[in-house]
């Protein structure tokens, strides 16, 4: 008996049932290898038996156990050189069961790496990674390519393009994974993404994983107006973690009941993904075997489209409005440990009365435990009525936390964000704590700029636009100045419009740096630190990374070392002399006064 082509089969209006979770069945049968892909090599017989059980239960589409069998994913297991072997064996095992009764889908998953500038993965490298895996799957005889578990539509498009490069005729099932979020699923977002992928000429389009059956039904209803066949592979439920293992409690009858509705709503391919055992697939088959695809499909109902108006009210900070209109003055305030923030509020009030435009609030500098910069910024802005330049580091938050905190900052009225990568935890209070660094400062700027356009990094609409002034840090005294400028160029490309520099002591350094970045449209806040002693000058020069205190500055400070008052006065004079030269070349100053000497900074600014 000869199988009909898959494109003919999918157009027959009889639903195609895919197998369930091989990984779940492996665990139930006492096999806990990680990743499951290595079982293709170590114990192919048990995977073959699982496929036969799924097929006997009604599965017609067998998915290879190759979701994470790309070079980047296999690196962590020391198996990067086994890409071809693992994928080839994965297809052969499935083919030995499918024969003339079913179809083999060569499964390709995402790289699970962040693309530049969020991470380090380039599009060219990712494309090559996909090509390597796709070649192995097709060389081994896969009938179809199935792209699943892709959360990023851009990466899914890249994978489809790679497949077309390898073989322009192979059938492709392209599945986007949507979050468990009813607010997102009720908008036009699923339909927008699905139409975008369908326009690439794939054989079927749809969604897989992370959501349970009911949420998947919402997705399929949202995209039911599309002409391309639809595939819907929900998880059987949202799992709970018990001792690090996923636990599902959805009964086969429940999952089958929703699967029938999925087919009636237009799903030509269905089944279940995460947590789905042989019994779940058997129940699904019995529920849908007599159904006609789309027999109860309703005309696509109007979905709520979140509009982001172009004429939004101007809620930029005063600091943002004043850039280029006046010489801006900012000071860093010292954030104490503990609960008492009265000294910070008092200092902010004092500085406001003395003409300072904003205070800089650092975020866990030197990896020390202090109050959240968002919390203290909110207190300063509400109690002292002083604007803040709020530093946000990438060290302590993953990409979810960073975006959530940015949305929270906007809700609290915090408008000025200075993105910094952050000092590693190894130098702080808890050296054994984890440094996250999902992204660096460049990636954080990109994330905030996306929110300014009304969407998060995954493209989800946020119901409006944030209005952050995006600031970044730079070091005109960097050892590798070429690298520093390249990174600054990237920050500007991602949306930064203001740069705050590390402290500088001489105008020649500033002038050279400004000349090197003249091609950037960037407002520059020059960093200044008034020295209080020769010891202070030497500490900054020798013990603070990235800081240079010129030799002539250290000599002048040593000459006044016999008197603390004279030394502090000399430190102020050096800073004043520099500012008088620099003022006309920059948009403002960022002063870091030593040991809460705020009056020293105010006096210095009055004298410049």
Residue 141, token pair as written in the block:
């005889």
Q: What is each CA distance from 222 to 16, 85, 263, 287, in whole angstroms?
A: 21, 40, 14, 23
Res 305: pLDDT: 47
Rounded distance, CA 484 to CA 239, Å? 45
For CATH 3.20.20.330, the residue range(s) in the chain are 6-288
* CATH fold label, 6-288: TIM Barrel (3.20.20)
Strands (E), 335-386: 358-361
Res 535: pLDDT: 93
For CATH 3.20.20.220, the residue range(s) in the chain are 318-531+583-598
CATH 3.20.20.220 fits 318-531+583-598, yes or no: yes
Rounded distance, CA 104 to CA 233, Å? 16
β-pairing, 16-17 with 267-270?
A: parallel
Res 203: pLDDT: 97
Rounded distance, CA 410 to CA 413, Å? 5
Q: Residue 153 belongs to what H/E stretch?
A: helix 153-166
Kindly report the pTM of this predicted structure.
0.78
Q: At what angle do helices 189-198 and 213-222 cross, to 10 degrees?
A: 70
**Radius of gyration of the CA atoms of the chain, in A:** 30
Closest CA to 335 of 323, 346, 324, 343: 343
Residue 285, token pair as written in the block:
């088959």
Rounded distance, CA 530 to CA 179, Å? 50
Res 297: pLDDT: 67
Residue 284, token pair as written in the block:
């699904």
Q: Mean pLDDT for each 10-residue chunk of the chain (608 residues)?
A: 85 95 93 86 95 97 97 92 96 94 96 86 96 97 96 94 96 89 62 91 94 91 88 90 76 95 96 95 96 76 50 87 95 93 96 96 87 96 97 94 96 97 85 89 95 90 93 94 96 97 96 96 95 92 88 94 89 95 96 88 87
Using a 10 angstrom Cβ sphere, with 0-12 exposed, 13-18 middle and 19 or more buried, the burial of residue 86 is buried
Res 286: pLDDT: 97
Rounded distance, CA 69 to CA 86, Å? 7
User: For residue 103, what are the contacts with CB-CB under 8 A and spacing of at least 6?
Assistant: 3, 6, 9, 16, 60, 61, 62, 143, 144
């Amino acid at each position: 008996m000869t199988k009909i082509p898959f494109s003919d089969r999918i157009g027959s209006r009889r639903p195609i049932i895919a197998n369930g979770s091989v990984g779940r069945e492996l665990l139930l049968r006492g096999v806990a290898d990680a990743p499951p892909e290595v079982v293709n090599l170590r114990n192919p017989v048990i995977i073959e038996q699982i496929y036969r059980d799924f097929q006997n239960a009604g599965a017609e589409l067998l998915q290879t156990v190759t979701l994470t069998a790309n070079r980047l994913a296999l690196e962590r297991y020391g198996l990067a050189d086994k890409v071809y072997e693992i994928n080839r064996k994965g297809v052969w095992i499935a083919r030995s069961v499918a024969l003339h009764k079913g179809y083999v889908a060569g499964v390709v998953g995402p790289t699970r790496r962040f693309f530049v500038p969020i991470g380090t993965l380039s599009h060219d490298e990712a494309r090559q990674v996909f090509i390597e895996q796709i070649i192995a799957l097709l060389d081994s005889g896969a009938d179809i390519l199935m792209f699943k578990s892709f959360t990023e539509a851009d990466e899914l498009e890249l994978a489809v393009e790679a497949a077309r490069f390898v073989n322009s005729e192979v059938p492709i099932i392209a599945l986007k994974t949507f979050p468990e979020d009813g607010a997102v699923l009720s908008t036009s977002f699923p339909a927008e993404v699905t139409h975008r992928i369908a326009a690439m000429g794939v054989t079927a389009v749809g969604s897989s994983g992370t959501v349970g059956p009911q949420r998947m039904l919402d997705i399929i209803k949202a995209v039911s107006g599309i002409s391309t066949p639809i595939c819907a592979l929900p998880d059987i439920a949202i799992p709970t973690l018990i001792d690090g293992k996923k636990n599902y409690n959805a009964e086969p009858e429940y999952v089958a009941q929703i699967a029938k509705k999925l087919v009636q709503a237009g799903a030509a391919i269905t089944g279940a993904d995460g947590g789905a055992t042989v019994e779940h697939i058997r129940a699904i088959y019995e529920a849908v075997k007599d159904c006609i695809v789309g027999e109860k499909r309703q005309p696509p109902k109007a979905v709520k489209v979140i509009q982001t108006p172009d004429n939004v009210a101007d809620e930029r900070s005063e600091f943002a409005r004043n850039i280029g209109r006046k010489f801006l003055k900012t000071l860093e305030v010292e954030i104490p440990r503990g609960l008492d923030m009265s000294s910070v509020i008092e200092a902010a009030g004092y500085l406001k009365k003395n003409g300072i435009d904003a205070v800089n609030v650092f975020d866990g500098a030197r990896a020390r435990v202090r109050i959240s910069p968002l919390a203290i910024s909110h207190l300063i802005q509400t109690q002292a009525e002083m604007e803040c330049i709020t530093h946000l580091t990438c060290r302590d938050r993953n990409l979810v936390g960073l975006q959530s905190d940015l949305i929270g900052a906007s809700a609290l009225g915090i408008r000025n964000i200075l993105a910094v990568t952050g000092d590693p935890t190894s130098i702080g209070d808890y050296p054994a704590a984890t440094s996250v660094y999902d992204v660096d400062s460049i990636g954080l700027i990109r994330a905030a700029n996306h929110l300014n356009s009304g969407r998060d990094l995954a493209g989800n609409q946020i119901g409006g636009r944030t209005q952050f002034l995006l600031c970044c840090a730079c070091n005109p005294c960097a050892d590798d100045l070429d690298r520093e400028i390249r990174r600054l160029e990237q920050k500007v490309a991602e949306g930064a419009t203001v740069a705050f520099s590390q402290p500088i002591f001489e105008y020649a350094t500033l002038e050279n740096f400004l000349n090197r970045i003249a091609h950037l449209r960037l407002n520059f806040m020059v960093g200044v630190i008034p020295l209080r002693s020769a010891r202070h000058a030497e500490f900054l020069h020798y013990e603070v990374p990235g800081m240079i205190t010129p030799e002539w500055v250290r000599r002048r400070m040593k000459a006044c070392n016999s008197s603390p008052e004279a030394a502090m006065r000399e430190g102020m004079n050096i800073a004043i002399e520099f500012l008088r030269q620099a003022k006309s070349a920059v948009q403002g100053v960022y002063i870091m006064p030593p040991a809460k000497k705020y009056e020293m900074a105010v006096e210095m600014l009055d004298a410049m």
